[in-house]
């Protein structure tokens, strides 16, 4: 039942299992390597995409996610709004994802550090989170920002999307983005299958009734 959950949900992968896809990727990588000398960036990407597709990492993530979600459930009050619980779940899932990254990537470190920072701030009763100094909305500032070439603007946007990568230079930003994308894909797959599982196991009165 569950085994086959992933391939269909998986929007990015084709039906092939991760192993064959990895093999194909390896073959394509080696052919690329034959063409050009093996580059560090290729290795990074091969590493990152392979890293987030191995069974082991997926199983680790799944098990950690389950545990974390169980704890969240215990912590959250049922009276709370769905949205707050959802946000908590999402943050938990992100943290688990970052933990699975084992600190090798910048975004993972930033995600984990943000939590620590929040705890510290809570302890110190400092100002609330998100007091990032907003850019002055002067017309001159805006003109200057918009005058930047389009690519640069987009790179800035990308830097804002990937956590902890606002001030990272371009090649590193692209590296981080590729790793982040691979990790997000795995996260989406895991959560989808988990949701399916839970939905399927929901009280039978609400689901899957047969005439």
Partner 1 sequence: MDNELFMNAVASHPSEMTSLSSFTSPAAMLNWDSMETPHPLEEQSIITRNVSKDCFFLEKSTEQSFFGSTLSSLVSPPSDSSFSGGVAGENYVIKELIGNLGNVGDVYGAPANISGSCYATPMLSSPPLDAFSGDSRFAERAARFSCLGSRSFNGRRNGLVAETVSINGELTRVSSTSGIKPPAGESSRKRKAKSKENSPSKASQSPNLSKKVEEKEDSDTKRSRKSEENGEKTKSLDPYKDFIHVRARRGQATDSHSLAERVRREKISERMKLLQDLVPGCNKVTGKALMLDEIINYVQSLQRQVEFLSMKLSSVNTRLDFNMDALMSKDIFPSSNNQQVLQLESSSDILLAGHHSHTLQLNPNDSSNNIMNPMETSESRSFNSQLPTLNHFTDSISQFSTFSEDDLHSIIHMGFAQNRPSNQVPSHMKAEL
Residues 98-127 that bind partner 1 (CB under 8 A): 99
Closest CA to 60 of 163, 187, 162: 187
Count of C-beta atoms within a 10 Å radius of residue 18? 18
Least Å distance, CB 134 to partner 1, is 21
101 CB burial (10 A radius; 0-12, 13-18, 19+): buried
Least Å distance, CB 53 to partner 1, is 9
Using DSSP's 3-state secondary structure scheme, residue 10 falls into: coil
Least Å distance, CB 209 to partner 1, is 8
Instruction: Write each residue from 3 to 32 as x if it is in contact with partner 1 (CB under 8 A), else as -, in one continuous string.
Output: xxxxxxx-xx--x-xxx-------------
Instruction: Write each residue from 126 to 165 as x if it is in contact with partner 1 (CB under 8 A), else as -, in one continuous string.
Output: ------------------------xxx-xx-xx--xx---
Token couple for 50: 């392979």
Least Å distance, CB 43 to partner 1, is 8
First to last CA, the chain: 22
**From candidates 89, 112, 114, 121, binder to partner 1 by CB under 8 A:** 89
Q: How many residues bind partner 1 (CB under 8 A)?
A: 93
Q: Return the number of the residue (90 or 126) whose C-beta is nearest partner 1.
A: 90
Which residues 164-193 are close enough to bind partner 1 by CB under 8 A?
169-172, 174-175, 177-178, 180-182, 184-185, 187-193
Distance CA 149, CA 29 (A): 32
Positive or negative, the Cα torsion across 101, 105, 108, 113? positive
Q: Return the number of the residue (121 or 194) whose C-beta is nearest partner 1.
A: 194
Could you tell me which stretch among 57-65, 113-121, 130-138 binds partner 1 (CB under 8 A)?
57-65
Closest CA to 112 of 59, 173, 164, 186: 164
């Amino acid at each position: 039942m569950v085994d086959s959950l992933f391939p269909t949900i998986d929007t990015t992968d084709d039906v092939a299992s991760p192993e064959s896809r990895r093999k194909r990727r390896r073959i394509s990588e080696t052919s690329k390597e034959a063409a050009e000398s093996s580059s560090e960036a290729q290795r990074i990407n091969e590493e990152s995409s392979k890293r987030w597709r191995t069974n082991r990492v997926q199983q680790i993530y799944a098990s950690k996610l389950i545990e974390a979600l169980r704890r969240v459930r215990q912590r959250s009050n049922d009276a709370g709004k769905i949205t707050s619980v959802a946000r908590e779940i999402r943050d938990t899932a992100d943290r688990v994802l970052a933990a699975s990254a084992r600190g090798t990537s910048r975004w993972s470190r930033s995600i984990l550090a943000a939590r620590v920072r929040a705890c510290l701030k809570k302890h110190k009763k400092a100002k609330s989170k998100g007091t990032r100094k907003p850019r002055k909305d002067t017309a001159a500032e805006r003109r200057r920002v918009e005058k930047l070439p389009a690519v640069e603007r987009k790179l800035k946007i990308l830097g804002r999307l990937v956590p902890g990568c606002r001030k990272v230079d371009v090649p590193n930003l692209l590296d981080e983005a590729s790793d982040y994308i691979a990790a997000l894909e795995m996260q989406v797959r895991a959560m989808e299958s988990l949701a399916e599982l839970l939905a399927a196991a929901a009280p039978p009165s609400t689901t899957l009734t047969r005439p």
